[in-house]
Amino acid sequence: MVTTNSNTQKENDNIARIIRVIPSLAGVVHFYIMDWRGKIIETSSSAPDITDFITFTLVSGVKMRDLLGGRGPHRVWFDLQDKGKLLMVPLGRFNVTILLKNNVSVTSMAYQLNVIMQG
């Protein structure tokens, strides 16, 4: 669990709740919880190392938002060739990335993550 002074107790509680709940969500194959510097907070035990890709993708999205004066990114996802879906969801000072089975709705999973964050 994150114990740095820069995180509030609420953020620590949110991270703990996400870590506790994600493995039990239907359709989750692997998950990554990372800070914005790419430091892994928690990951599923057999998850492949794609942390550099996750960090690059989300930070690039934020830079594009700032450059274009837009909003987001609220979520990013990739359909992988017969390997499922990769969903990235920025949640405050950390982000959650989940490799999902093909039959799982990205919208539904993103909604579930937001509900978990609200406690």
**In the predicted model, is pLDDT for residue 65 greater than 50?**
yes
Least confident of 9-13, 32-36, 111-115: 9-13
Tell me whether residue 107 is in a domain: yes
Structural domain boundaries, residue 32: 9-117
Q: Tell me the C-alpha distance between 62 and 74, whole Å.
A: 10
The pLDDT of 60-83, averaged and rounded, is 87
Nearest C-alpha neighbor of 91 from the set 27, 29, 32, 26: 32
In a domain, 4, yes or no: no
Task: State how many domains the chain has.
Answer: 1
Nearest to 99 by CA among 59, 20, 44: 44
Per-residue confidence (pLDDT) for residue 2, from 0 to 100: 46
What pLDDT digit, counting tens, does each position of 53-63 carry? 888 898 888 88
- What pLDDT does 7 receive? 53
Residue 2, in any domain of the structure: no
- Is residue 59, in this structure, part of any structural domain at all? yes
Report CA 2 to chain centroid distance, whole Å: 15
Supply the CATH number for residue 27's domain.
3.30.450.30
Q: Indicate if the pLDDT at residue 105 is higher than 90.
A: yes
